[in-house]
Structure 1
Amino acid sequence: MQRPMEGVRILEVAQFTFVPAAGAVLADWGADVIKVEHAERGDAQRALVRLLGLDAASKGSSFFPIMEGPNRGKRSIGLALEKPGARKVLEELIRSSDVFLTNFLPGARRKLGIELEDVRAINPDIIYVRGSGFGSRGPDADKGGYDSTAFWARGGSAAGVTPPGSERMMKMPSGAYGDSIGGMTIAGGIAAALYSRKATGEPSVVDVSLLGVGAWATQFSVNLALLAGGPPPLPEPPKHGSATNPLVGSYRTSDDRWLELCMLQPGRYWAEFVRIAGHEELAADERFDTTEKLMANAAEAGEIVAGIIGARTFAEWTELLDGGEGQWSAVQNAWEIGQDPALRAVGMIAPVVDADGRDRELVANPVQFDETPVQLRRAPQFAEHTEELLRELGLSDAELAQLKIDGAIT
């Protein structure tokens, strides 16, 4: 299996999911990712035992999905960067690394001596990567943010999915939603920076913000607003289908499941759809027998489609629609996604053995090389590799003991 990041070392000084998710992707691709965690507190995300009202961990098990997802494949070192004794260790790690990856705020970076100039003074060739809430420059450079604030709310997605007149704003569909997308974005930026360094000999400074990723995700609407000189109007959508196409939109089945149709060429797919649905007479109906008529009477056609789909179960419709060429999809919940045969066929739901030796599964990152599924390795336990890494750096038993006495390492 090709592991394109084999031989690359990433030094990650980061917490939560946004930036660590990038490290996980790079570890999937073969990089040696060293995760620096505070010697006493560790990654703050380890303490999030409940999230979105749900238990994030299983009692009696070391498997902790909220940590496994963004940290699989890494090695963890417990290092108290504020302690003078930890500085030598940090500097040796920086010297041996290709990439320095962080989401610490500017004030914390200055206090800990890990700003760009500090790190480059130790290793002039290192690629320096900052993940931020609102950008590394500008009025909010010192402001912290999470994906719910910077990506979802300020980046436009929340407004885009919240209906006018709604009593509450729509929330993200999953925990760490923007973080995971942003982490993948950072990983791509690092790959480009490594290529550039190899081609030019010059290391890059890479910046990715959650706000920037949010704006990129909503760019269609933002670009229209920039063109119009103001927010684009929000036309009242029809109850069923779209304004000009009954075969675009969501429809409810008889057992309260949903289907999403996206047949962008209504004239091409109308006859096929009504035939599959058992209403072939609608193809010759004078209201819908040409593309122009079908588009002009889309609201009426949408009501008819809603009635037709509402008369059968979800299972019946998935079997029927599988026999056609039109584009559609089942609306799946989290469990169904994990069982999706298309994902499993290409190894995107990947096995991993946890720290207790039990077989588990995680979602793989969406990039695959040479049609070969990634081989996942579990996330590290807190500070699990501290001694291993220090010995790799050449520290003696006496030096390790002194660092422990000083509280510089776990």
Structure 2
Amino acid sequence: MDRPLEGIRVLEVAQYTFVPAAGAVLADWGADIIKVEHAETGDPQRGLVRVLGYDANRAGSSFAPIMEGPNRSKRSIGIDLSVPEARPVLEELIRRSDVFLTNYLPGPRAKLGLTLEDVRAINPNIIYVTGSGFGSEGPDAASGAYDSTGFWARGGSAEGIMAPGADHVTFMPAGAYGDNIGGMTIAGGIAAAIAGRERTGEPSVVDVSLLGVAAWATQFTVNLALFTGGPLPKVQKTTQAAGNPLTGAYRTADDRWLQFSMLQPTRFWNEFVMLLGLDHLVDDPRFATMAGITENAETIVSWFADAIAARPYDEWTEIFQKLSGPWAPLQNSWELGHDQALVANGRIVDLVDADGESQQLVANPVKFDNAPVKMVRAPQFAEHTDEILQELGIDDENLIGLKIAGAVT
């Protein structure tokens, strides 16, 4: 069963990435996702042209990765939920869905008749899911957030990577960073709710907040601060374990980096120093114990650094294919997109865009029955409006009437 959610329909009334990313994961898992977009303006993310200093799309192409990633394999319907004539359409969609998924704030949900009570009055068995900034309870329940605020800043990650005395805040490593992590979390919550409803017959109300996802991601330091009774002291972060030169990052001759994490240094010592060309250190009695390595760690680090700095990145990545201890190259996004492990496991998927051009997208990390992900491009704005309305039994005359009223695209 490589598409375990086949036959599940999700009605997604959401925009940007956080909650739509959950819909994309569910679509990868086989669910039918109907994305509701405003009849005139669509998902505002379609209008983004610059993200973190990068162009979000390319002239002459309909393919915009920031839109494609969280919306692949969905169908899009354009509805103006504020128009009374649109209400019967919305209600029929709710009636035919297993999951209602939204990131609308409580105020707009109440205004548009999308509260839990409104939706359950139409379909008592529907699973009701919200992605929020700060949770469904508490003083900030009605406040919105982006991942840069609710996840990265307030959630502790930004402060956690700042060096002592830093004069600027380091920004997220990628656009929609917390959103995509949060979307995966929402998808997991929905899958659990579907399993629970199958077992008990009771539909769940699910809420996942960006702040909650951030606290989970940084829980080691959060838990440690709670345990010690106050803020943790600011320390100089390093990738190197104290006293262990076989951990940490080393720079190559061409200013690339390699990361090592051999937590049992005596086990890998001879193998590592031979690959570095430091054969004279093999079976050196000074470094036969952890205590000996720790005592001489500073000197050993300088030896290793000099050795690695003598060769370029490509040579070292070839040499270290023979290393049995844990290590990894520091890869950029292009290299990650071509990583042999991702490609071999079907986590980079080929598809065809709306222009007939071949493109690639990252698949969700969950793999079922060793099967490839069945993925198609994201829908164009309101692309499936007529198709979905006809599925609901709306004939051509009424469809035209809905369009004249401005209820649908």
Same-fold call, TM cutoff 0.5: yes
The 3-state SS of whatever aligns with 1:212 is: helix
Bigger CA drift: 45-54 or 301-310? 301-310
> Please, what TM-score do these two structures have when normalized by structure 1?
0.97
Cα distance in 2 for residues equivalent to 1:237 and 1:191? 37
Partner of 1:233: 233
| Alignment check: 8 A CA contact 1:99 1:129 kept | yes
Q: CA deviation at 1:300?
A: 2.4
Q: CA deviation at 1:290?
A: 1.6
Deviations 1:291-345 (A, max 9, x none): 1111233222222211111111111111111111110000000100111111111
Which runs of 5 or more structure 1 residues have no equivalent in the other structure?
A: none
The 3-state SS of whatever aligns with 2:322 is: coil
Tell me whether 1:278 sits opposite 2:296 in the alignment.
Answer: no
Tell me whether 1:68 sits opposite 2:42 in the alignment.
Answer: no
Cα distance in 2 for residues equivalent to 1:286 and 1:157? 42
The 3-state SS of whatever aligns with 2:287 is: coil
Q: CA deviation at 1:289?
A: 3.0
Distance 1:71 1:237, change over 3 A: closer
| Alignment check: 8 A CA contact 2:196 2:202 kept | yes
Q: CA deviation at 1:2?
A: 2.1
| Alignment check: 8 A CA contact 1:347 1:374 kept | yes
Partner of 2:344: 345
Cα distance in 2 for residues equivalent to 1:183 and 1:203? 20
**Which runs of structure 2 are paired with 1:1-400 in the superposition (5 Å)?**
2-236=2-236, 241-285=240-284, 287-400=286-399
Cα distance in 2 for residues equivalent to 1:295 and 1:138? 49
Cα distance in 1 for residues equivalent to 2:373 and 2:74? 15
| Alignment check: 8 A CA contact 1:11 1:99 kept | yes
Cα distance in 2 for residues equivalent to 1:196 and 1:253? 52
Deviations 1:66-114 (A, max 9, x none): 1110000000000000110110000000000000000001111111110
Q: CA deviation at 1:284?
A: 4.1
CA RMSD of aligned residues (A): 1.3
Q: Structure 2 counterpart of 1:104, which letter?
A: Y
> Please, what TM-score do these two structures have when normalized by structure 2?
0.98
The 3-state SS of whatever aligns with 1:215 is: helix
The 3-state SS of whatever aligns with 2:222 is: helix
Deviations 1:185-239 (A, max 9, x none): 110100000000000000000110011111111111111111111123344356x
The 3-state SS of whatever aligns with 1:5 is: coil
Cα distance in 2 for residues equivalent to 1:385 and 1:237? 50
The 3-state SS of whatever aligns with 1:129 is: strand
Q: CA deviation at 1:242?
A: 2.9
Which runs of 5 or more structure 2 residues have no equivalent in the other structure?
A: none
Q: Structure 2 counterpart of 1:145, which letter?
A: A
Q: Structure 2 counterpart of 1:165, which letter?
A: G
The 3-state SS of whatever aligns with 2:11 is: strand
The 3-state SS of whatever aligns with 1:322 is: helix
Q: CA deviation at 1:285?
A: 4.2
| Alignment check: 8 A CA contact 1:102 1:131 kept | yes
The 3-state SS of whatever aligns with 1:261 is: strand
Q: CA deviation at 1:247?
A: 1.3
Identity of aligned residues (%): 65
Q: Structure 1 counterpart of 2:332, which letter?
A: N
Q: CA deviation at 1:286?
A: 5.1
| Alignment check: 8 A CA contact 1:83 1:408 kept | yes
Deviations 1:132-151 (A, max 9, x none): 11111111111110111111
Number of aligned residue pairs: give it.
409
Q: Structure 1 counterpart of 2:138, which letter?
A: G
Distance 1:128 1:140, change over 3 A: same
Deviations 1:222-276 (A, max 9, x none): 11111111123344356x8332211111111001001011111112112211111
| Alignment check: 8 A CA contact 1:243 1:299 kept | no
Cα distance in 1 for residues equivalent to 2:319 and 2:290? 23
| Alignment check: 8 A CA contact 2:161 2:237 kept | no
The 3-state SS of whatever aligns with 2:351 is: strand
| Alignment check: 8 A CA contact 2:164 2:235 kept | no
Distance 1:374 1:237, change over 3 A: closer
Cα distance in 1 for residues equivalent to 2:301 and 2:220? 26
Distance 1:293 1:70, change over 3 A: same
Distance 1:204 1:237, change over 3 A: closer
